[in-house]
């Protein structure tokens, strides 16, 4: 999905003045000039890829960006503490798939880019009330049907902590279709609080997915043209793809693959796009999806 005016404004609001307080004036001017150029001349570029290019400019001029290592480890551990309870809620639900999807939606609240701050109390409240999230019956049944007939599923993850709810949904998918092959894709290198191979190891994501791969890049969203050959091979061979989070929607929307998106609406574009309030969970799919990835 290429950037629209709202996305450009958001990028400028977040990035234009996001430089170190003690940065030299000449480097600030170069940084701001580069940000304006990258955003205003984004053309067909998606918001995640533009953000990645801005980050590269930042690192060149100012050095490393904020290190989220400790924050990521904390939220991974926090969510793993809730694993047994969430697993039991899925096991005893009238519809385990719906419950797993609802919990996966709440996990997408852990986003230090879209929200700046993640309130742990609010996160716990959202998880406790996950069963109240409305899920389209029609969309859920389409999702269930695609899961049941898929031979290979690729699940593209988003954030730290959130991948615990992804693990729970992956576990549910495998119970619905024990014969399918499930590959999870995380970010190929650290970027903000997005999940990487280190996060996948901490939450033991390999217990639910037969294979866990990095995307091959540090873009904060799935951009297939920038995937590693190994990750792209999995995408090409998949019968079904699942993408978590707004960034992955921005990077993949319009690709035409057999793909379902699960996320929580956090910014004005998504609230307007889906006609909902902030922090509403969404399960949707590619309009032109077909039964296989070409």
The model's pLDDT over 101-120, given as tens digits with 9 standing for 90+, comes to: 999 999 999 999 888 789 99
pTM: 0.94
Sheet holding 211-214, edge to edge: 211-214, 181-186, 152-156, 240-244, 259-264, 281-285
Q: What are phi and psi of 115, to 5 degrees?
A: -110, -10
Q: End-to-end CA distance of the chain, in Å?
A: 19
User: What is the predicted pLDDT for the residue at 288?
Assistant: 53
pLDDT single digits (tens) 164-201: 999 999 999 999 999 999 999 999 999 999 999 999 99
DSSP label at residue 265: -
Instruction: Provide the residue ranges of all domains of the chain, joining segments of one domain with +.
Output: 5-62, 69-285
pLDDT band at 294 (very low <50, low <70, confident <90, very high): very low
pLDDT single digits (tens) 135-165: 999 999 999 999 999 999 999 999 999 999 9
User: What is the predicted pLDDT for the residue at 16?
Assistant: 95
User: What is the predicted pLDDT for the residue at 212?
Assistant: 98
User: Do the beta carbons of residue 81 and residue 138 sit within 8 Å?
Assistant: no
pLDDT single digits (tens) 215-253: 999 999 999 999 999 999 999 999 999 999 999 999 999
Beta bridge partners of 154: 183, 241
User: What is the predicted pLDDT for the residue at 290?
Assistant: 45
Residue with tokens 């798939």: 97
Sign of the C-alpha dihedral computed for residues 207, 151, 247 and 215 taken in this order: positive
The 10 Å CB-count burial string (b at 16+, else e) for 175-202 is: eebeebbbbbbbbbebbbbbbbeebbeb
CATH architecture of 69-285: 3-Layer(aba) Sandwich (3.40)
pLDDT single digits (tens) 57-84: 999 999 999 999 999 999 999 999 999 9
């Amino acid at each position: 999905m290429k950037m629209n005016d709202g996305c450009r404004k958001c990028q400028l609001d977040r990035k234009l003045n996001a430089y170190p307080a003690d940065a030299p004036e000449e480097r600030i001017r170069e940084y701001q000039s580069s940000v304006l150029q990258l955003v205003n001349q984004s053309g067909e570029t998606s918001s995640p890829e533009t953000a990645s290019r801005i980050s590269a400019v930042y690192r060149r001029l100012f050095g490393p960006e904020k290190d989220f290592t400790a924050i990521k480890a904390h939220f991974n551990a926090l969510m793993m503490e809730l694993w047994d309870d969430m697993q039991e809620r899925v096991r005893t639900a009238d519809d385990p798939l719906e419950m797993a999807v609802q919990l996966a939606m709440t996990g997408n609240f852990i986003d230090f880019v879209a929200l700046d701050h993640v309130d742990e109390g609010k996160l716990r409240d959202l998880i406790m009330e996950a069963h109240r999230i409305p899920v389209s019956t029609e969309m859920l049944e389409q999702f269930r049907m695609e899961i049941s007939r898929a031979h290979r599923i690729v699940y593209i993850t988003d954030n730290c902590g959130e991948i615990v709810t992804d693990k729970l949904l992956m576990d549910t998918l495998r119970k619905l279709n024990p014969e399918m092959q499930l590959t999870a894709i995380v970010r190929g290198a650290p970027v903000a609080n997005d999940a990487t191979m280190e996060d996948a190891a901490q939450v033991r994501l390999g217990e639910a997915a037969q294979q866990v791969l990095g995307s091959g890049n540090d873009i904060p969203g799935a951009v297939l043209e920038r995937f590693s050959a190994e990750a792209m091979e999995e995408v090409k061979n998949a019968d079904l793809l699942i993408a978590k989070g707004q960034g992955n929607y921005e990077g993949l929307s319009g690709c035409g693959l057999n793909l379902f998106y699960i996320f929580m609406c956090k910014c004005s574009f998504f609230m307007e796009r889906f006609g909902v309030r902030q922090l509403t969970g969404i399960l949707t799919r590619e309009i032109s999806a077909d039964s296989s990835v070409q």
